[in-house]
Structure 1
Amino acid sequence: MRILVVPDLHGRTNWRQPVADFLAAAAATDRVIFLGDYLDSFTVADQPMLDNFIDVLLLREREPERVILLLGNHCFPYLFYPAFQCSGFRPQLAPALHILFKTHQALFQVAWQAGSYLFTHAGVSDMWLESNRLAIRLLVGHHARPDNIADTLNQLLASEQGRQLLWQVSGYNGGRDRVDGPLWVRPVHLSRGLLPRLIQVVGHTPQPHIHSEINEATQTGFIVADCHDHSPDEFLTLQLTK
Protein backbone atom coordinates (compact mmCIF):
# COMPACT_ATOMS: atom_id res chain seq x y z
CA MET A 1 0.00 0.00 0.00
CA ARG A 2 1.30 3.43 -0.99
CA ILE A 3 -0.03 6.51 0.79
CA LEU A 4 0.23 10.13 -0.31
CA VAL A 5 -0.26 12.54 2.59
CA VAL A 6 -1.68 16.00 1.92
CA PRO A 7 -1.15 18.32 4.90
CA ASP A 8 -3.21 21.33 5.97
CA LEU A 9 -4.46 23.17 2.88
CA HIS A 10 -5.77 26.47 4.28
CA GLY A 11 -6.95 27.33 0.77
CA ARG A 12 -3.79 26.22 -1.06
CA THR A 13 -4.23 24.56 -4.45
CA ASN A 14 -0.77 22.96 -4.68
CA TRP A 15 -2.30 19.54 -3.92
CA ARG A 16 -4.09 19.16 -7.26
CA GLN A 17 -1.31 18.01 -9.59
CA PRO A 18 0.52 15.75 -7.10
CA VAL A 19 -2.77 14.07 -6.16
CA ALA A 20 -3.81 13.66 -9.80
CA ASP A 21 -0.42 12.16 -10.70
CA PHE A 22 -0.52 9.81 -7.71
CA LEU A 23 -4.04 8.56 -8.41
CA ALA A 24 -3.29 8.07 -12.11
CA ALA A 25 -0.61 5.53 -11.18
CA ALA A 26 -2.19 4.23 -7.97
CA ALA A 27 -3.39 0.72 -7.26
CA ALA A 28 -6.80 0.04 -5.73
CA THR A 29 -5.22 -0.36 -2.30
CA ASP A 30 -3.32 2.94 -2.42
CA ARG A 31 -4.66 5.97 -0.55
CA VAL A 32 -4.51 9.77 -0.53
CA ILE A 33 -5.01 11.14 2.98
CA PHE A 34 -5.85 14.80 3.59
CA LEU A 35 -4.97 15.79 7.16
CA GLY A 36 -7.70 18.43 7.47
CA ASP A 37 -7.79 22.24 7.79
CA TYR A 38 -9.04 22.97 4.29
CA LEU A 39 -10.08 26.52 5.25
CA ASP A 40 -9.25 29.64 7.28
CA SER A 41 -6.38 30.94 5.17
CA PHE A 42 -4.80 34.23 6.19
CA THR A 43 -3.89 35.01 2.55
CA VAL A 44 -6.47 33.35 0.25
CA ALA A 45 -9.73 35.20 -0.45
CA ASP A 46 -13.16 33.76 0.33
CA GLN A 47 -14.24 32.58 -3.12
CA PRO A 48 -10.99 30.82 -4.17
CA MET A 49 -10.84 29.14 -0.77
CA LEU A 50 -14.46 27.99 -1.06
CA ASP A 51 -13.89 26.74 -4.63
CA ASN A 52 -10.82 24.81 -3.50
CA PHE A 53 -12.77 23.14 -0.70
CA ILE A 54 -15.51 22.13 -3.15
CA ASP A 55 -12.85 20.60 -5.40
CA VAL A 56 -11.65 18.49 -2.46
CA LEU A 57 -15.21 17.29 -1.84
CA LEU A 58 -15.68 16.44 -5.52
CA LEU A 59 -12.42 14.47 -5.52
CA ARG A 60 -13.57 12.48 -2.51
CA GLU A 61 -16.89 11.71 -4.21
CA ARG A 62 -15.09 10.54 -7.37
CA GLU A 63 -12.62 8.43 -5.39
CA PRO A 64 -14.58 7.15 -2.37
CA GLU A 65 -12.22 4.22 -1.73
CA ARG A 66 -8.87 5.87 -2.36
CA VAL A 67 -9.29 9.36 -0.84
CA ILE A 68 -9.57 9.91 2.94
CA LEU A 69 -10.62 13.30 4.35
CA LEU A 70 -9.72 13.97 7.98
CA LEU A 71 -11.11 16.74 10.16
CA GLY A 72 -8.91 19.44 11.66
CA ASN A 73 -9.41 22.16 14.23
CA HIS A 74 -10.37 24.57 11.43
CA CYS A 75 -13.17 22.21 10.34
CA PHE A 76 -15.08 21.82 13.63
CA PRO A 77 -16.21 25.50 13.79
CA TYR A 78 -18.04 25.09 10.46
CA LEU A 79 -19.25 21.50 10.80
CA PHE A 80 -20.69 22.12 14.27
CA TYR A 81 -21.36 25.84 13.90
CA PRO A 82 -21.50 27.78 16.22
CA ALA A 83 -20.23 25.43 18.95
CA PHE A 84 -16.47 25.87 18.43
CA GLN A 85 -14.18 28.84 17.85
CA CYS A 86 -10.86 29.02 16.01
CA SER A 87 -8.51 31.69 14.65
CA GLY A 88 -9.01 32.69 11.03
CA PHE A 89 -12.74 31.88 11.17
CA ARG A 90 -14.68 33.39 8.25
CA PRO A 91 -18.12 34.40 9.61
CA GLN A 92 -19.29 35.53 6.17
CA LEU A 93 -18.65 32.01 4.81
CA ALA A 94 -19.90 30.14 7.86
CA PRO A 95 -23.51 29.53 6.66
CA ALA A 96 -22.41 28.11 3.29
CA LEU A 97 -19.57 26.09 4.79
CA HIS A 98 -21.82 24.72 7.51
CA ILE A 99 -24.23 23.44 4.88
CA LEU A 100 -21.39 21.94 2.84
CA PHE A 101 -19.90 20.18 5.85
CA LYS A 102 -23.24 18.90 7.15
CA THR A 103 -24.38 17.72 3.73
CA HIS A 104 -21.11 15.87 3.20
CA GLN A 105 -20.37 14.90 6.80
CA ALA A 106 -20.20 11.21 5.87
CA LEU A 107 -17.12 11.98 3.74
CA PHE A 108 -15.08 13.02 6.79
CA GLN A 109 -13.53 11.22 9.72
CA VAL A 110 -11.25 12.08 12.63
CA ALA A 111 -8.71 9.30 12.19
CA TRP A 112 -7.56 6.57 9.83
CA GLN A 113 -5.25 3.69 10.65
CA ALA A 114 -3.21 1.18 8.67
CA GLY A 115 -1.36 -1.29 10.87
CA SER A 116 0.97 0.64 13.17
CA TYR A 117 0.38 3.95 11.33
CA LEU A 118 -2.23 6.32 12.75
CA PHE A 119 -3.32 9.40 10.78
CA THR A 120 -5.00 12.33 12.56
CA HIS A 121 -4.89 16.10 12.26
CA ALA A 122 -2.66 16.83 15.28
CA GLY A 123 -2.02 13.52 17.07
CA VAL A 124 -3.07 11.52 20.12
CA SER A 125 -0.98 11.93 23.25
CA ASP A 126 -0.85 9.42 26.08
CA MET A 127 -1.69 12.27 28.48
CA TRP A 128 -4.96 12.99 26.65
CA LEU A 129 -5.85 9.31 26.49
CA GLU A 130 -5.17 8.73 30.19
CA SER A 131 -7.04 11.87 31.24
CA ASN A 132 -10.12 10.78 29.32
CA ARG A 133 -9.89 6.99 29.49
CA LEU A 134 -13.00 6.52 31.62
CA ALA A 135 -15.06 9.07 29.68
CA ILE A 136 -14.07 7.41 26.40
CA ARG A 137 -14.98 3.99 27.80
CA LEU A 138 -18.42 5.23 28.82
CA LEU A 139 -19.05 6.96 25.48
CA VAL A 140 -17.93 4.28 23.02
CA GLY A 141 -18.28 1.11 25.10
CA HIS A 142 -14.66 -0.04 25.08
CA HIS A 143 -11.17 1.04 26.09
CA ALA A 144 -8.93 2.69 23.51
CA ARG A 145 -6.00 0.48 22.48
CA PRO A 146 -3.27 0.93 19.84
CA ASP A 147 -5.10 -1.43 17.48
CA ASN A 148 -8.51 0.31 17.71
CA ILE A 149 -7.61 3.94 18.35
CA ALA A 150 -8.84 5.24 14.97
CA ASP A 151 -12.24 3.57 15.34
CA THR A 152 -12.50 4.92 18.88
CA LEU A 153 -11.78 8.51 17.78
CA ASN A 154 -14.29 8.27 14.94
CA GLN A 155 -16.97 7.00 17.32
CA LEU A 156 -16.40 9.99 19.61
CA LEU A 157 -17.44 12.25 16.75
CA ALA A 158 -21.01 10.96 16.99
CA SER A 159 -21.84 12.56 20.36
CA GLU A 160 -21.62 16.07 21.78
CA GLN A 161 -19.58 14.83 24.75
CA GLY A 162 -17.25 12.97 22.42
CA ARG A 163 -16.71 16.05 20.27
CA GLN A 164 -15.83 18.06 23.37
CA LEU A 165 -13.15 15.49 24.21
CA LEU A 166 -11.71 15.62 20.70
CA TRP A 167 -11.65 19.43 20.83
CA GLN A 168 -9.90 19.80 24.22
CA VAL A 169 -7.50 22.78 24.17
CA SER A 170 -4.88 23.35 26.86
CA GLY A 171 -3.44 26.67 27.98
CA TYR A 172 -0.50 26.08 25.62
CA ASN A 173 -2.89 26.64 22.70
CA GLY A 174 -4.98 29.30 24.40
CA GLY A 175 -7.63 27.06 25.96
CA ARG A 176 -8.58 26.01 29.49
CA ASP A 177 -8.37 22.22 29.36
CA ARG A 178 -5.65 20.21 31.10
CA VAL A 179 -4.46 18.57 27.89
CA ASP A 180 -4.82 18.98 24.13
CA GLY A 181 -7.02 16.64 22.13
CA PRO A 182 -6.35 15.10 18.69
CA LEU A 183 -7.24 18.36 16.93
CA TRP A 184 -4.85 20.56 18.90
CA VAL A 185 -1.84 18.80 20.42
CA ARG A 186 1.59 20.07 19.32
CA PRO A 187 4.70 17.96 18.57
CA VAL A 188 6.46 19.21 21.71
CA HIS A 189 3.79 17.53 23.83
CA LEU A 190 3.16 14.62 21.50
CA SER A 191 6.83 13.64 21.83
CA ARG A 192 6.48 13.52 25.64
CA GLY A 193 3.43 11.28 25.55
CA LEU A 194 3.86 8.88 22.64
CA LEU A 195 1.46 5.98 22.30
CA PRO A 196 3.46 2.73 22.15
CA ARG A 197 3.66 0.74 18.92
CA LEU A 198 2.17 3.54 16.83
CA ILE A 199 3.71 5.86 14.26
CA GLN A 200 1.48 8.91 14.08
CA VAL A 201 1.25 11.00 10.92
CA VAL A 202 -0.02 14.52 11.62
CA GLY A 203 -0.25 18.07 10.30
CA HIS A 204 -1.38 21.11 12.34
CA THR A 205 2.06 22.50 13.26
CA PRO A 206 4.01 24.09 10.37
CA GLN A 207 7.57 22.87 9.86
CA PRO A 208 10.30 23.97 7.39
CA HIS A 209 10.30 20.42 6.00
CA ILE A 210 8.63 17.11 6.79
CA HIS A 211 9.79 16.26 10.32
CA SER A 212 10.14 12.70 11.61
CA GLU A 213 10.91 11.28 15.07
CA ILE A 214 10.61 7.49 14.99
CA ASN A 215 12.12 4.67 17.02
CA GLU A 216 12.35 1.97 14.35
CA ALA A 217 12.96 -0.79 16.89
CA THR A 218 9.69 -0.15 18.72
CA GLN A 219 7.75 1.33 15.78
CA THR A 220 6.85 4.29 17.95
CA GLY A 221 6.99 7.96 17.01
CA PHE A 222 5.49 10.58 14.74
CA ILE A 223 5.86 12.38 11.42
CA VAL A 224 4.75 16.00 10.99
CA ALA A 225 3.84 16.55 7.33
CA ASP A 226 2.67 20.19 7.56
CA CYS A 227 5.49 21.92 5.68
CA HIS A 228 3.71 23.74 2.85
CA ASP A 229 4.13 27.20 4.34
CA HIS A 230 7.84 26.79 3.58
CA SER A 231 8.15 23.83 1.17
CA PRO A 232 5.00 23.69 -0.98
CA ASP A 233 6.36 20.98 -3.29
CA GLU A 234 7.26 18.57 -0.49
CA PHE A 235 4.73 15.76 0.02
CA LEU A 236 5.04 12.75 2.29
CA THR A 237 4.67 9.38 0.56
CA LEU A 238 4.67 6.16 2.57
CA GLN A 239 5.02 2.56 1.51
CA LEU A 240 3.18 0.39 4.04
CA THR A 241 2.31 -3.23 4.47
CA LYS A 242 -1.19 -3.66 5.91
Structure 2
Amino acid sequence: MRILVIPDIHGRTGWVPVVNNFLAGAQAADRVVFLGDYNDSFTVPDAVMLDNFIDVLLLKQQEPERVVLLLGNHCVPYLLLPRFQCSGFRPTLAPALHILFKHHRHLFQVAYQAGPYLFTHAGVSEMWLKENGLAIRVLCEMPATVDNLPAVLNKLLTTEEGQRRLWQVSGYNGGRDRVDGPLWVRPAHLRRGLLPGIIQVVGHTPLPGISWDVKEATQTGVVFTDCHDRQPTEYLTLELPG
Protein backbone atom coordinates (compact mmCIF):
# COMPACT_ATOMS: atom_id res chain seq x y z
CA MET A 1 0.00 0.00 0.00
CA ARG A 2 1.29 3.42 -0.98
CA ILE A 3 0.10 6.73 0.44
CA LEU A 4 0.74 10.07 -1.25
CA VAL A 5 0.47 12.98 1.20
CA ILE A 6 -0.66 16.41 -0.03
CA PRO A 7 0.02 19.10 2.59
CA ASP A 8 -1.70 22.50 2.83
CA ILE A 9 -2.33 23.73 -0.72
CA HIS A 10 -3.82 27.18 0.10
CA GLY A 11 -5.07 27.64 -3.45
CA ARG A 12 -1.91 26.34 -5.14
CA THR A 13 -2.49 24.04 -8.11
CA GLY A 14 0.82 22.15 -8.18
CA TRP A 15 -0.83 19.08 -6.63
CA VAL A 16 -2.89 18.34 -9.76
CA PRO A 17 -0.26 16.63 -11.99
CA VAL A 18 1.34 14.93 -8.97
CA VAL A 19 -1.95 13.36 -7.86
CA ASN A 20 -3.03 12.46 -11.39
CA ASN A 21 0.28 10.69 -12.05
CA PHE A 22 0.07 8.83 -8.75
CA LEU A 23 -3.51 7.67 -9.30
CA ALA A 24 -2.78 6.58 -12.86
CA GLY A 25 -0.43 3.92 -11.51
CA ALA A 26 -2.10 3.33 -8.16
CA GLN A 27 -3.69 0.14 -6.90
CA ALA A 28 -7.09 -0.05 -5.21
CA ALA A 29 -5.48 -0.06 -1.74
CA ASP A 30 -3.38 3.04 -2.42
CA ARG A 31 -4.44 6.38 -1.03
CA VAL A 32 -3.98 10.11 -1.57
CA VAL A 33 -4.37 11.97 1.72
CA PHE A 34 -4.92 15.74 1.68
CA LEU A 35 -4.05 17.32 5.05
CA GLY A 36 -6.52 20.21 4.74
CA ASP A 37 -6.22 23.98 4.25
CA TYR A 38 -7.39 24.10 0.65
CA ASN A 39 -8.07 27.84 0.76
CA ASP A 40 -6.89 31.11 2.35
CA SER A 41 -3.85 32.64 0.70
CA PHE A 42 -2.37 36.10 0.67
CA THR A 43 -1.43 35.83 -3.02
CA VAL A 44 -3.82 33.49 -4.90
CA PRO A 45 -6.84 35.27 -6.49
CA ASP A 46 -10.37 34.34 -5.44
CA ALA A 47 -11.32 32.75 -8.78
CA VAL A 48 -8.23 30.53 -8.89
CA MET A 49 -8.70 29.47 -5.29
CA LEU A 50 -12.37 28.63 -5.77
CA ASP A 51 -11.75 26.65 -8.98
CA ASN A 52 -8.92 24.77 -7.29
CA PHE A 53 -11.13 23.80 -4.35
CA ILE A 54 -13.85 22.60 -6.73
CA ASP A 55 -11.21 20.44 -8.44
CA VAL A 56 -10.39 18.87 -5.05
CA LEU A 57 -14.07 18.08 -4.48
CA LEU A 58 -14.46 16.60 -7.96
CA LEU A 59 -11.40 14.42 -7.43
CA LYS A 60 -12.86 13.06 -4.20
CA GLN A 61 -16.15 12.32 -5.92
CA GLN A 62 -14.37 10.54 -8.76
CA GLU A 63 -12.10 8.56 -6.41
CA PRO A 64 -14.13 8.22 -3.19
CA GLU A 65 -12.12 5.27 -1.86
CA ARG A 66 -8.63 6.31 -2.89
CA VAL A 67 -8.78 10.01 -1.90
CA VAL A 68 -9.01 11.19 1.73
CA LEU A 69 -9.85 14.82 2.50
CA LEU A 70 -8.96 16.11 5.97
CA LEU A 71 -10.04 19.39 7.53
CA GLY A 72 -7.60 22.11 8.58
CA ASN A 73 -7.89 25.30 10.59
CA HIS A 74 -8.49 27.21 7.33
CA CYS A 75 -11.42 24.90 6.46
CA VAL A 76 -13.50 24.89 9.63
CA PRO A 77 -14.30 28.65 9.55
CA TYR A 78 -16.06 28.16 6.21
CA LEU A 79 -17.71 24.88 7.16
CA LEU A 80 -19.06 26.24 10.46
CA LEU A 81 -19.50 29.88 9.44
CA PRO A 82 -19.63 32.18 11.39
CA ARG A 83 -18.41 30.42 14.58
CA PHE A 84 -14.66 30.44 13.94
CA GLN A 85 -12.16 32.52 12.01
CA CYS A 86 -8.41 32.74 11.44
CA SER A 87 -5.87 34.75 9.45
CA GLY A 88 -6.24 34.80 5.69
CA PHE A 89 -10.02 34.39 5.90
CA ARG A 90 -11.63 35.54 2.65
CA PRO A 91 -14.96 37.30 3.27
CA THR A 92 -15.45 37.58 -0.49
CA LEU A 93 -15.32 33.80 -0.86
CA ALA A 94 -16.99 32.89 2.42
CA PRO A 95 -20.58 32.46 1.10
CA ALA A 96 -19.50 30.20 -1.78
CA LEU A 97 -17.05 28.18 0.32
CA HIS A 98 -19.58 27.77 3.10
CA ILE A 99 -22.10 26.30 0.66
CA LEU A 100 -19.50 23.97 -0.86
CA PHE A 101 -18.21 22.75 2.51
CA LYS A 102 -21.70 22.34 3.93
CA HIS A 103 -23.07 20.52 0.87
CA HIS A 104 -20.02 18.21 0.70
CA ARG A 105 -19.48 17.84 4.41
CA HIS A 106 -19.67 14.04 4.12
CA LEU A 107 -16.50 14.07 2.00
CA PHE A 108 -14.34 15.44 4.83
CA GLN A 109 -12.97 14.05 8.07
CA VAL A 110 -10.63 15.16 10.86
CA ALA A 111 -8.39 12.10 11.03
CA TYR A 112 -7.36 9.06 9.03
CA GLN A 113 -5.12 6.16 10.01
CA ALA A 114 -3.23 3.51 8.05
CA GLY A 115 -1.04 1.11 9.99
CA PRO A 116 0.98 3.10 12.55
CA TYR A 117 0.44 6.37 10.65
CA LEU A 118 -2.15 8.86 11.95
CA PHE A 119 -2.98 11.70 9.58
CA THR A 120 -4.42 14.99 10.90
CA HIS A 121 -3.94 18.61 9.94
CA ALA A 122 -1.75 19.75 12.84
CA GLY A 123 -1.40 16.73 15.15
CA VAL A 124 -2.78 15.27 18.36
CA SER A 125 -0.75 16.06 21.46
CA GLU A 126 -0.81 14.06 24.66
CA MET A 127 -1.46 17.35 26.50
CA TRP A 128 -4.64 17.96 24.49
CA LEU A 129 -5.88 14.43 25.13
CA LYS A 130 -5.29 14.78 28.88
CA GLU A 131 -6.98 18.18 28.97
CA ASN A 132 -10.05 16.88 27.13
CA GLY A 133 -10.10 13.26 28.27
CA LEU A 134 -13.31 13.40 30.29
CA ALA A 135 -15.13 15.51 27.69
CA ILE A 136 -14.06 13.13 24.92
CA ARG A 137 -15.34 10.14 26.88
CA VAL A 138 -18.70 11.86 27.42
CA LEU A 139 -19.09 13.21 23.88
CA CYS A 140 -17.94 10.05 22.12
CA GLU A 141 -19.03 7.47 24.71
CA MET A 142 -15.52 5.98 24.65
CA PRO A 143 -11.98 6.95 25.64
CA ALA A 144 -9.47 7.96 23.00
CA THR A 145 -6.96 5.12 22.51
CA VAL A 146 -4.36 4.30 19.87
CA ASP A 147 -6.81 1.91 18.22
CA ASN A 148 -9.84 4.18 18.00
CA LEU A 149 -8.35 7.69 17.88
CA PRO A 150 -9.46 8.51 14.30
CA ALA A 151 -13.05 7.46 15.08
CA VAL A 152 -13.06 9.59 18.23
CA LEU A 153 -11.70 12.67 16.46
CA ASN A 154 -14.16 12.31 13.59
CA LYS A 155 -17.07 11.92 15.99
CA LEU A 156 -16.13 15.13 17.80
CA LEU A 157 -16.87 16.98 14.56
CA THR A 158 -20.55 15.98 14.80
CA THR A 159 -21.40 18.13 17.86
CA GLU A 160 -20.92 21.80 18.70
CA GLU A 161 -19.03 20.99 21.89
CA GLY A 162 -16.84 18.50 20.04
CA GLN A 163 -16.10 21.11 17.38
CA ARG A 164 -15.05 23.56 20.07
CA ARG A 165 -12.65 20.98 21.52
CA LEU A 166 -11.12 20.32 18.12
CA TRP A 167 -10.70 24.07 17.54
CA GLN A 168 -8.97 24.83 20.86
CA VAL A 169 -6.31 27.52 20.42
CA SER A 170 -3.75 28.35 23.11
CA GLY A 171 -1.99 31.65 23.71
CA TYR A 172 0.91 30.31 21.65
CA ASN A 173 -1.32 30.68 18.57
CA GLY A 174 -3.15 33.79 19.75
CA GLY A 175 -6.06 32.07 21.49
CA ARG A 176 -7.24 31.68 25.09
CA ASP A 177 -7.37 27.92 25.60
CA ARG A 178 -4.89 26.01 27.74
CA VAL A 179 -3.84 23.71 24.90
CA ASP A 180 -3.98 23.54 21.10
CA GLY A 181 -6.29 21.06 19.41
CA PRO A 182 -5.64 18.89 16.31
CA LEU A 183 -6.30 21.85 14.01
CA TRP A 184 -3.79 24.18 15.67
CA VAL A 185 -0.94 22.54 17.60
CA ARG A 186 2.57 23.53 16.51
CA PRO A 187 5.70 21.33 16.31
CA ALA A 188 7.23 22.53 19.59
CA HIS A 189 4.21 21.41 21.62
CA LEU A 190 3.47 18.32 19.54
CA ARG A 191 7.00 16.99 20.04
CA ARG A 192 6.62 17.41 23.81
CA GLY A 193 3.51 15.25 23.88
CA LEU A 194 3.89 12.52 21.28
CA LEU A 195 1.54 9.55 21.47
CA PRO A 196 3.32 6.21 21.94
CA GLY A 197 2.92 3.71 19.13
CA ILE A 198 1.74 6.29 16.58
CA ILE A 199 3.61 8.04 13.79
CA GLN A 200 1.74 11.25 13.11
CA VAL A 201 1.76 12.85 9.66
CA VAL A 202 0.84 16.54 9.73
CA GLY A 203 0.93 19.79 7.79
CA HIS A 204 -0.07 23.20 9.22
CA THR A 205 3.37 24.64 10.03
CA PRO A 206 5.52 25.69 7.03
CA LEU A 207 9.05 24.26 7.16
CA PRO A 208 12.03 24.28 4.76
CA GLY A 209 11.42 20.64 3.80
CA ILE A 210 9.77 17.40 4.87
CA SER A 211 11.01 16.65 8.39
CA TRP A 212 11.08 13.20 10.07
CA ASP A 213 11.25 12.89 13.85
CA VAL A 214 10.48 9.20 14.33
CA LYS A 215 11.80 6.44 16.58
CA GLU A 216 11.42 3.36 14.39
CA ALA A 217 11.89 0.91 17.27
CA THR A 218 8.78 2.17 19.05
CA GLN A 219 6.89 3.44 15.97
CA THR A 220 6.50 6.77 17.72
CA GLY A 221 7.03 10.21 16.26
CA VAL A 222 5.88 12.77 13.75
CA VAL A 223 6.49 13.68 10.11
CA PHE A 224 6.05 17.35 9.17
CA THR A 225 5.13 17.78 5.49
CA ASP A 226 4.09 21.43 4.96
CA CYS A 227 7.09 22.62 2.93
CA HIS A 228 5.56 23.98 -0.25
CA ASP A 229 6.36 27.61 0.51
CA ARG A 230 10.01 26.67 -0.14
CA GLN A 231 9.91 23.23 -1.78
CA PRO A 232 6.80 23.22 -3.98
CA THR A 233 7.70 19.92 -5.69
CA GLU A 234 8.49 17.90 -2.55
CA TYR A 235 5.79 15.37 -1.61
CA LEU A 236 5.81 12.57 0.91
CA THR A 237 5.01 9.04 -0.26
CA LEU A 238 4.74 6.29 2.33
CA GLU A 239 5.15 2.59 1.63
CA LEU A 240 3.16 0.28 3.92
CA PRO A 241 3.14 -3.51 3.85
CA GLY A 242 0.04 -5.21 2.51
Superposition TM-score, scaled by structure 1 size: 0.99
Tell me, which stretches of 5 or more residues in structure 2 are unaligned? none
2:84 aligned with 1:79: no
Between the aligned partners of 1:42 and 1:147, the Cα distance in structure 2 is 39
Q: How far did residue 7 of structure 1 move? A: 0.3
Superposition TM-score, scaled by structure 2 size: 0.99
CA deviations 1:103-131 (Å, max 9, x no partner) are 00000000000121100000000000000
Q: How far did residue 241 of structure 1 move? A: 2.7
Tell me, which stretches of 5 or more residues in structure 1 are unaligned? none
Paired-residue identity, % = 69
Structure-2 residue corresponding to 1:152 = 152
Structure-1 residue corresponding to 2:143 = 143
Structure-1 residue corresponding to 2:207 = 207
Structure-1 residue corresponding to 2:63 = 63
What is the root-mean-square deviation of aligned Cα atoms in Å? 0.6
CA deviations 1:180-236 (Å, max 9, x no partner) are 000000011100000000000000000110011000110000000100000000000
Structure-2 residue corresponding to 1:5 = 5
Between the aligned partners of 2:125 and 2:240, the Cα distance in structure 1 is 23
SS across alignment from 1:21: helix
Between the aligned partners of 1:6 and 1:85, the Cα distance in structure 2 is 23
Structure-2 residue corresponding to 1:187 = 187
Between the aligned partners of 2:120 and 2:90, the Cα distance in structure 1 is 24
Structure-1 residue corresponding to 2:134 = 134
Between the aligned partners of 1:164 and 1:241, the Cα distance in structure 2 is 36
Count of matched residue pairs: 242
2:21 aligned with 1:21: yes
Between the aligned partners of 2:37 and 2:124, the Cα distance in structure 1 is 17
Moved over 2 A (4+): none
Structure-2 residue corresponding to 1:219 = 219
Structure-1 residue corresponding to 2:241 = 241
